[in-house]
């Protein structure tokens, strides 16, 4: 069904992070942007559709006005809003938002760091070393009505209100329902139809929260986990599609939490899921070196979701950490792997 095309070289290898691949299709300019994280650098590639022209840019995570303060980047993702596209980069220090080509940083949000007792403030009964709580942001999604949602290690989800232009981005709301670190956030709006649920979030305990955006975000449902990380989640036609560390994919009716299907999809930890919204194709990628393509179809008579397996690709001896469709129909997809300095392309035969 798919065949391998010429790979796209990147300047650094991909880090072993969930969902470590961003893709943005710029149809008017016949370009596709790619973003891959390596340690404290985001490798950006602009590729022409004919495959003849490539340009590279590298972005570092650092605090504004502090030249030497860098931190590990957790994710880079493109957010498509009604009036503009942004590249959002999350790290251990904070959240950066750039113009989609990475040329200008338009917003910086610093993360709150929990206070650690100093040596002078400890009593004699206190332990010598006080373990510091990990602080980071991870899980990025654009939401209808010009919002961008970003998860953080405390379990909160930060909702940013993004104007149609300029840098006057504001922290609009903080959603505090998860008790464990956010792993992924995804949204959907089915065209002009009224969306009952248009945002789903996942955490390290495998728990899912289903939301509806608006002037105030409303929690619609909580789907409990099984103490196994949900590393990647998507929302399509009211169905939450979740990938887990067990290698399983579960499909839930988002609003009710009814389990439509459970698939033993991979032999090892799933790192990335993606959906082509126009065709219902589902892409899954895991540590087991396999990327698989599935087809999702809603059966109106039974109000259930049917899943069919369509295609396998094996990237030999590679821990796959990112996989994305390049278009809404699923005609092509791309893959990144840990310690791999290339983006591998597959196109329908």
Query: DSSP of 282-331, one letter per residue?
Result: EEEEETTSEEEEEEEEEETTTTEEEEEEEEEEE-TT--EEEEEESSTT-S
What is the pLDDT at residue 240?
96
Domains, the chain, in order of start with CATH, read 2-112+134-348 (2.130.10.10)
- Per-chain mean pLDDT for the chain: 90
User: Among residues 166, 177, 272, which one has the least CA distance to residue 217?
Assistant: 177
What is the pLDDT at residue 195?
66
Rg (CA), the chain: 20
pLDDT tens-digit profile of 151-198?
999 999 999 999 999 999 999 999 999 999 999 999 986 544 556 889
User: Among residues 219, 192, 185, 190, which one has the least CA distance to residue 79?
Assistant: 185
The Cα–Cα gap between 5 and 326 comes to 13
Q: Dihedrals φ, ψ of 87, to 5°?
A: -100, 125
The ranges of the chain with pLDDT < 70 are 63-69, 114-132, 189-195
What is the pLDDT at residue 50?
83
User: Among residues 36, 322, 35, which one has the least CA distance to residue 184?
Assistant: 322
What is the pLDDT at residue 232?
98
What is the pLDDT at residue 218?
94
What is the pLDDT at residue 33?
97
What is the pLDDT at residue 115?
57
Q: Which residues contact 96 (CB under 8 A, 6 or more apart)?
A: 59, 61, 88, 89, 90, 105, 107, 108
Distance set, CA 326 to CA 20, 27, 39, 190, 191 (Å): 15, 11, 24, 19, 20
pLDDT tens-digit profile of 234-275?
999 999 999 999 999 999 999 999 999 999 999 999 999 999
């Amino acid at each position: 069904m798919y065949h391998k095309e010429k790979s796209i070289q990147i300047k650094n290898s991909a880090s072993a992070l969930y969902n470590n691949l961003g893709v943005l299709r710029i149809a008017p300019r016949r370009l596709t942007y790619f973003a891959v994280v390596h340690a404290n650098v985001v490798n950006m590639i602009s590729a022409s559709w004919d495959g003849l022209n490539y340009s590279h840019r590298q972005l570092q995570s650092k605090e504004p006005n502090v030249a030497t303060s860098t931190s590990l980047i957790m994710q880079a993702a493109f957010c498509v809003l009604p009036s503009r596209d942004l590249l959002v980069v999350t790290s251990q220090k904070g959240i950066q938002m750039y113009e989609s080509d990475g040329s200008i940083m338009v917003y910086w949000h610093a993360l709150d760091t929990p206070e650690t007792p100093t040596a002078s403030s400890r009593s004699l009964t206190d332990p010598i070393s006080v373990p510091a709580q990990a602080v980071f942001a991870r899980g990025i999604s654009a939401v209808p009505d010009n919002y961008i949602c970003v998860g953080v290690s405390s379990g909160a989800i930060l909702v940013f209100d993004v104007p149609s232009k300029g840098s006057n981005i504001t922290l609009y709301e903080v959603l505090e329902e998860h008790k464990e670190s956010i792993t992924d956030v995804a949204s959907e709006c089915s065209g002009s139809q009224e969306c009952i649920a248009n945002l789903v979030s996942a955490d390290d305990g495998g728990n899912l929260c289903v939301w509806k955006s608006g002037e105030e975000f409303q929690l619609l449902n909580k789907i409990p986990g099984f103490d196994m990380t949900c590393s990647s989640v998507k929302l399509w036609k009211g169905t939450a599609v979740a990938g887990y560390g067990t290698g399983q994919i579960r499909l839930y009716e988002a609003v009710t939490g009814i389990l439509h299907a459970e698939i033993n999809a991979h032999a090892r930890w799933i790192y990335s899921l993606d959906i082509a919204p126009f065709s219902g194709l589902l892409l899954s990628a895991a540590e087991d070196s396999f990327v698989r393509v599935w087809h999702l179809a809603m059966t109106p008579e039974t109000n259930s979701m049917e899943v069919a397996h369509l295609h396998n690709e094996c990237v030999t001896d590679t821990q796959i950490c990112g996989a994305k469709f390049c278009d809404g129909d699923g005609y092509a997809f791309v893959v990144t792997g840990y310690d791999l300095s290339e983006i591998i392309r597959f196109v329908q035969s």
